[in-house]
Amino acid sequence: MFKRLSILFVGLALTAACSARPAEDAAAKPAYTEGTEYVATTTPGRLDPKDGKVEVVEVFSYGCVHCAHYEEYAEKLQKELPKGVVFHAVPAAFNDAWLPYAQAYYAAKELKVAPAAHAALFKAIHMDHYPLRTIEELAGWYKQNYGVDEAKFLAAAKSDAVKNRILADSKLIQGWGIDGTPTIVVDGKYRSNSIKSFDELDGVAKYLVDKELKGGK
């Protein structure tokens, strides 16, 4: 898990290769270890408790540069998940600066903006360095790039429905014990922890999905 704010850039080696394990160790031990690459959530709870499918949740923010770099891996993960496993993205509003990004995410979903806008917004903020910090600036970006009516976008972003959704997300994220992004949560039971690379983050997600499909074994 990659810590946010001032410690985002401390001690990370995102491109470092994972240490090779001897063949006999790989056979004797699971690929990933609870307490190291993943941990049990502080307060277990699914995003969608009514859906019986195994659930993978990416907790992210458009304000997080590591989430921007992870996006291509997140897309790859979605394609590699077994049939019937569901994937959700949940925006974290850890602070006032990240709140507009969570509002924008849900406003775009409500207005059925093209899914391609998700990756495009990461690129606009972190690669192209557009000044997209307020909900008004974000509304202008969606209008310019996807023809979204600004008034409708702002109304959706500031609606009670979106406010309540963000509050519910924040409660769930806190219950999972998450304080950094991107973090992967599987079935509300386990979350990624000490991760060395984005390939490893995807690997942990698939390992935990397989664990849940086998009944938690």
Overall average pLDDT of the 169-189 stretch: 97
**pLDDT, position 29:** 54
Q: Report pLDDT digits (tens) over 80-92.
A: 999 989 999 999 9
Sheet containing 183-186: give its strands across.
Answer: 38-40, 190-192, 183-186, 55-60, 86-91
* pLDDT single digits (tens) 37-75: 999 999 999 999 888 899 999 999 999 999 999 999 999
CA distance 57 to 55: 6
What's the pLDDT score for residue 51?
Answer: 84
For position 192, what pLDDT does the model report?
98
Cβ atoms 61, 67 nearer than 8 A: yes
Residue 217 pLDDT = 67
Query: What are the distances in angstroms from CA 50 to CA 47, 86, 111, 187, 204?
Result: 9, 13, 24, 12, 25
| pLDDT (0 to 100) of residue 30 | 63
Cβ pair 112, 83 in contact under 8 A: no
pLDDT above 90 as % of the chain: 82
Name the nearest CA neighbour of 191 among 174, 203, 178: 178
Average pLDDT over residues 126-140: 98
Kindly tell me if the per-residue pLDDT of 142 is higher than 80: yes
Mean pLDDT, residues 163-172: 98
pLDDT for 8 beyond 90: no
Residue 11 pLDDT > 60, yes or no?
no
How far, in Å, CA of 123 to CA of 185, rounded? 24
pLDDT of 66 reads: 98
Per-residue pLDDT averaged across 82-106, rounded?
Answer: 97
Beta bridge partners of 186: 56, 190
Rounded mean pLDDT of the chain? 89
- The pLDDT of residue 5: 38
pTM for the full predicted model: 0.86
